[in-house]
Structures are given as structure tokens and as C-alpha cells.
Amino acid sequence: MFNSSLRQLGAVLRAKKISSVELTQLYLDRIARLNPALNAYITLDQEKSLAQARAADERLANGDATDLTGIPIAQKDIFCARGWLTTCGSKMLHNFVSPYDAHVISQFNDAGAVNLGKTNMDEFAMGSSNETSYYGAVKNPWDESRVPGGSSGGTAAAVAARLCAAATGTDTGGSIRQPAALCGISGLKPTYGVVSRYGMIAFASSLDQAGPMGRSAEDLALLLNTMAGFDERDSTSLQRDREDYARDLAQPLDGLRIGLPREFFAEGLSSDVAQAVEAAIAEYKKLGATVVEVSLPNSGLSVPVYYVLAPAEASSNLSRFDGVRYGHRAPDYGDLADMYEKSRAQGFGAEVKRRIMIGTYVLSHGYYDAYYLQAQKIRRLIAQDFTDAFRQCDVIMGPTSPSTAFKLGEKSDDPVQMYLSDIYTIAVNLAGLPGMSIPCGFGADNMPVGLQIIGNYFGEARMLNAAHQYQLATDWHSRTPQGCKETT
Amino acid sequence: MSPSNTDVRKVARLARLAMSETEIESARAQLSGIFNLIAEMQAVDTTGIEPMSHAQDVSQRLREDKVTETNQREAFQAIAPQTEAGLYLVPQVIE
């Protein structure tokens, strides 16, 4: 059951071979056994999950079930869910029981999916290892001495360990793709504006985008069908016709033109990752694709540009946490300014403070032009590189991350080293393009390697098609970590 | 460029973050490393390039000027640190 696809689960639920309550209980029991070692979840609430499962069973009995009715999924703790503690991985929100649902949550609720719990994450999604969470680091199910990646590390670990059928993530600079790669699962960041950001706690609003994380491209397509769509409550939500992201899954790959950016295969890429990615490209050629070398000459600047723009937007977004209306307020304080300063100093962790400081600095008087404006100009150059590259190809492929999962603590004292682990993913957010990561083999110490697939704007169905055809021909995506093999 | 302790102190105040002198010193060291990374940008010639502030070139959507939100004051204030008579309480600002 734990290795079934969403389609298979939907079929057995509709055929009444298992009830949603039974399926949810199986997952809750498995979480109780395996989660203490992994720390993939911040909040579990059996009563709420089972109540949703009972409601799903009624829908199934009445015959008004959707593809996802009764299927137990997990939600990254960045999504506000009514009545659920929603912490965003921070002490600042340790007591925030959300009074409303994010758009993504209400979409899943409307579809009848069951929420198993809220998954762990880097604090305010700022991190690439899940070590900045106030609720403790998440362990990689493939090797518990290693990080799962971040910021959607709890989701990635939960999917890899089969502690949910699928789950949600968010990606500002790689936070869906990098943990998906490091945990050997599939994850997709849609084109900016495809999924509403309403109720998704903001980090860098011009880059943040929610997306699905699961075990296969086919599962991602089903999830994206539920998550995507116009929402007037997000001012950047795009007004587009609904599409079926699964419509092209079965198409053959004959004639698919794959662009390989030479900058993604240069210095800094581990040889084990390079080997696995090259083997995946060879597999694509066997499936009928052709390969062309492309260049993204400004992509090397994406990390510096990102570390100006994302902190600048974060410093503004996080100014709302002031200890007045919700969240942490310092127990002792003098005047109003003292209350703000102490509440924020106590509520935020080191990495969040660091980024607020960078952002405040680059936006402050005298530095705005040199940093913020310059970064926005280079952002355009980076986006233009992709536009040029897509004249020669349909999708771009390369590594998701320069290395496999690193050890817990290995990079946590060196922010710059940590930032460089997102070197291949950040440019995609800056350009607003869709990107995904799928498992494509194993590197040193038998740790999973992710293949990144970047599409043109609104190219999700094409990317999912390319990923699905690869997953029909290979079985990397169905490998399970050793300690998580027990199934029922 | 590397920020000084004075710069860091000023930024911490602007960002409303209480910081001890030890924290200021360690923040300065880490920010210097990050600003070295960012400095790479300065060498790029961006003359005539339009800044890109957003991922999509779309203009802000407008809506009719009418009330759409319902009153949920009680639900919102149930999670507030301190309220009284429907108001949020903070230390006195005006004498």
C-alpha cells in the first residue's frame, strides 16, 4: 500500500477495498514508528486527520469522489491550515493556530484529500539542509547522519520514508528541487504565478512558488491539477485557462530537444553526480531525445543576485512579525520599540536574522542602487539567458544539486557554503520558470542523485511527460530507503 | 565592501532586532563573507538594462472598490498576545 501510486490508491479507495479511515490509520501508525528518528513532521493531529478521512469515506460512498479523495497527504508547515498549528519552522509562530486556510490547503480539502500533518522545514524556508528549523533537524531516510536538504526537508523525508502518499513544498531558490534530489523523490516548482500564494507564509514574494512533491511524475501531475489555478486573493496569481497536467504523460519522447547548459557541468560539480546525470541523458537519447549544448552565461551570478533580492524581500515580509497581533511576544519588555526588538530577537533564529540584516542593509540609504537595483538588472540578464537557450531546445537538463546529501552539521557554520548548494536551482526562480527534480541514480555512499528538468514558461505538462517517460524506462524513483522497506 | 560594527548596529536597529555586542561582532563577520559573495555583481556592466522586479511582466490586477472581507475579529484576536475590548494592547506610545 505504501508504494502505491496516487492513481492506484484512488482506485482501491473507490473500489472500497480499503476505507480512507483504514488507510489514514495505516499511515498514522507508520508515522508513529518511523517519524521519531526522522523528525519529518512538526505537528500531527490524529483526530483531525481521521475526521477528514471519515468525511472522505462519505464522499466515496456517495460517489462524488475526486482523484485525491481519501488519500493521506502531508502539508509543509508554511501553509496556513485552519485549526492547525502553523509554525513555518520558527519559534516566532510556536503558538500560531491558523484561523484560516491557505489556497493550496482549501484546494486539497475541496478535493477530499486527508491532511496527515504539517511537515518540518527550515525556519521561514530559509535554508538548504533543514537544520535551521526551531523544531530540530530532519534526518535523511537514506542515511540518518545526513541532511534531507531544504527548505522542504520534512516533506522530502516524509515522502521518501513513505510517511505520506505525497506532500506539498515551496521553492524560493530550490527548496522543492534540492531536497527532492537529496531524498530520492520527485518534486516540481511550477511557473511563477501558477499556484496561489494566499496563506503561504511569505519569504521572498517575487520568487516563492508552491508545488507538489511525490514519488513519481505521474503523482505530481495529479497533485498539480489540484494545486494550480487562478485565485484572486493572490495579486500575482495568473488568470489562465485550467489545464490537465497529466494530458501529455503518455506521449513518446521522439524529437524532444534537450538543452545541456555547459555552465551546469563545470567546476564545482561532484563526479558521482555528474556520472548519474550523464547516464540519465544517455537514457533520454535511447528514448528518442536529441541533445544540444546551450549556454547560460550569467547563471554563475544567480547566487549573489539571489542573496540580495531574497533577503531584501524577506526583510520587508518579516517585518509583520512584531509581537502585536499573533506569534511570539517577549515576556518582559519596556516601551514599544523594546517589545518589537526583544520579541523579534527571541522569535527568530540565527539564519533568519542574518537574512533580515542583509536585506535591511541592501535596501538602506546609500546602498540601494549598488546592490538592490544592480541585482534586479542582472536578474533580467539571467532570465534572458533562458529565453535565448529555449530557442534551441524544449527542456533544459542538468544536475539539481552539486553534490548528494551532506552530513548534518557539515555546512551549518558556513552560510556561504550552504548558499552554494543551490547554485543550479536559483536561476530558475529568478527567471520565474518551472523546474523539477527526479531521481536518476545513486552517487557515493549510495545517496540519491537528482536530475533537474527546467521547462519554458508554462511547460509543466511537457516536463512531466519527459519525467514520466524516463520513469517508465527506469526504476530509480521506486527505490526505497533501507530502514523504510516494511510495507503492508 | 565589509560592514563595520557601527553599520551592523544601525542595521539591527532598523530591522528591530535586539543584539548584544557579541552578536553584533559575529554578525559582522558572517555578513562580510556574504558581502564578498555579493560583490561579484559589481563587475557586471548593466548599462541600459531594465531592472526586473518580477517574474512575469504583468500589471497589477485591479478590483472593484467594495468590501469583500467578512468580520473575523474574534477569530483573529483569539491568537493575539494581548487584547482588550476588541483592541490589540501594546505599551503606551502617546502620553
Q: Does A319 qualify as catalytic in the annotation?
A: no
- From B38, B63, B79, residue closest to A326, measured CB to CB: B79
Least confident of A16-30, A49-63, A451-465, B19-33: B19-33
Count of residues for chain A?
Answer: 488
CB-CB neighbors (< 8 A) of B24 in chain A = none
What are A27's three cell numbers? 499511515
- What single string gives the DSSP state of each residue in A84-122? SB--TT-GGGTT-B-SS--HHHHHHHHHT-EEEEEE--S
pLDDT tens digits along A286-316: 999 999 999 999 999 999 999 999 999 999 9
Residue B22 CA to residue A354 CA, distance in Å, equals 14
Residue B28 resides in a domain: yes
Contacts of residue A169, defined as CB under 8 A and 6 or more positions apart, other chains included, come to: A76, A152, A155, A156, A175, A176, A179, A180, A187, A210, A211, A212, A213
Q: Which residue has the cell 563595520?
A: B4
Q: Please check whether residue B88 lies inside any domain of the structure.
A: no
| Under 8 Å between Cβ of A128 and A181 | no
A54-58, A314-318, A481-485, range with the lowest pLDDT: A481-485
Q: Cβ neighbours of residue A162 under 8 Å, at least 6 residues apart? A: A2, A3, A30, A480, A484, A487
How far apart are the CA of A1 and the nearest CA of chain B, in angstroms?
A: 39
Contact B46 A341 (CB under 8 A): no
Q: For residue A373, what is the nearest residue in chain B, using CA coordinates?
A: B51
A373 vs B51: CB contact, 8 Å cut-off?
yes
Provide the residue count of chain B: 95
Determine contact, residues A404/A449, Cβ cutoff 8 Å.
yes
pLDDT at B1: 64
Helix (H, G, I), strand (E, B) or coil at B8: helix
Residue B68 has pLDDT above 70, yes or no: yes
Question: Active-site residue among A20, A128, A133, A151?
Answer: A151
With an 8 Å Cβ cutoff, is A192 touching chain B? Answer: yes
The tens digit of pLDDT for each residue in A415-459 reads 888 898 899 999 999 999 999 999 999 999 999 999 999 999 999
Q: How far apart are CA A475 and CA A227, in angstroms?
A: 27
Q: How far is A219 from chain B (nearest CA, A)?
A: 27
User: What values do phi and psi take at A249, rounded to 5?
Assistant: -50, -40
Q: Is A478 a catalytic residue?
A: no
At B93 the pLDDT is 86
Considering only CA atoms, which of A202, A237, A106, A212 is closest in space to residue A159?
A212
Check residue A457 and give its pLDDT.
97
Mean pLDDT of the residues in chain B: 92
Q: Closest Cα of chain B to A444: distance in Å?
A: 29
Q: In this predicted structure, what is the pLDDT of residue B2? A: 80
**pLDDT of B56:** 80
A357, A375, A416 member nearest B33 (Cβ): A416
Cα dihedral sign for A142, A144, A148, A152? positive
Q: Number of structural domains, chain B?
A: 1
On whether the CB atoms of residues A153 and A76 are closer than 8 A, the answer is: no
Please check whether residue B93 lies inside any domain of the structure. no
Mean pLDDT of all residues belonging to chain A:
96
Q: Distance between CA A31 and CA A39 in Å, rounded?
A: 10
Tens-digit pLDDT profile for residues A173-191: 999 999 999 999 999 999 9
- Structure confidence at residue A487 (pLDDT): 60
Q: Do A192 and B55 touch (CB under 8 A)?
A: yes
Note the pLDDT of residue A426. Answer: 98
Judge: B88–A325 Cβ closer than 8 Å, yes or no: yes
- pLDDT by residue (tens digit) across A335-383? 999 999 999 999 999 999 999 999 999 999 888 999 999 999 999 999 9
pLDDT category of residue A256 using cuts at 50, 70 and 90: very high
**Which of A20, A49, A90, A175 is the catalytic position?**
A175
Tens of pLDDT, residue by residue over B23-54, are 999 999 989 999 999 999 999 999 999 999 88
Q: Quote the minimal CA–CA distance from B76 to chain A in Å.
A: 6
pLDDT tens, residue by residue, A98-149: 999 999 999 999 999 999 999 999 999 999 999 999 999 999 999 999 999 9
> What does the DSSP assignment read for A261-316?
EGGGGSTT--HHHHHHHHHHHHHHHHTT-EEEEE--TTGGGHHHHHHHHHHHHHHH
**pLDDT band for position A482 (cuts 50, 70, 90):** confident
Q: Report the residue from B46, B50, B90 with minimal CB separation from A374.
A: B46
Q: Would you state the pLDDT for residue A488? A: 55
Tell me the three state secondary structure of residue A239.
coil
Task: Report the distance separating Cα A384 and Cα A445, nearest Å.
Answer: 38
B34 Rama sector, left if φ>0, alpha if ψ -120 to 50, beta otherwise: alpha
**Mean per-residue pLDDT, A399-419:** 93
Which CATH number is B28's domain given? 1.10.20
Backbone angles phi, psi at A186, to 5 degrees: -105, 145
Average pLDDT over residues A186-213: 97
Which residue out of B16, B40, B69 would a mutagenesis test of the A interface target, given it has the greatest number of A Cβ atoms within 10 Å? B16
> For cell 481519501, what's the residue?
A70
Asked whether the beta carbons of residue A357 and residue B72 sit closer than 8 angstroms, the reply is no
Per the structure, the complete domain to which residue B23 belongs is given by 5-43
Confidence tier at A464 by pLDDT (50, 70, 90): very high
Inside any domain, residue B29: yes
pLDDT of residue B94: 83
Evaluate whether residue B37 is within a structural domain.
yes
Average pLDDT for residues B60-79, to the nearest whole number? 91
Note whether residue B61 is domain-resident.
Answer: no
Best CA proximity match to B17, nearest among A316, A338, A344, A332? A344
Residue B48, domain member (yes or no): no
For residue B39, being part of any structural domain is answered with yes
- What's the rounded Cα separation, in Å, for the pair A127 and A123? 7
Whether the CB-CB separation of A381 and B49 falls below 8 Å is answered with: yes
Looking at the DSSP assignment, which residues form a beta bridge with residue A455? A395
pLDDT at A247: 98
Checking if the pLDDT of A269 tops 60, the result is yes
More confident of the two residues A434 and A414? A434
Q: Do B41 and A374 touch (CB under 8 A)?
A: yes
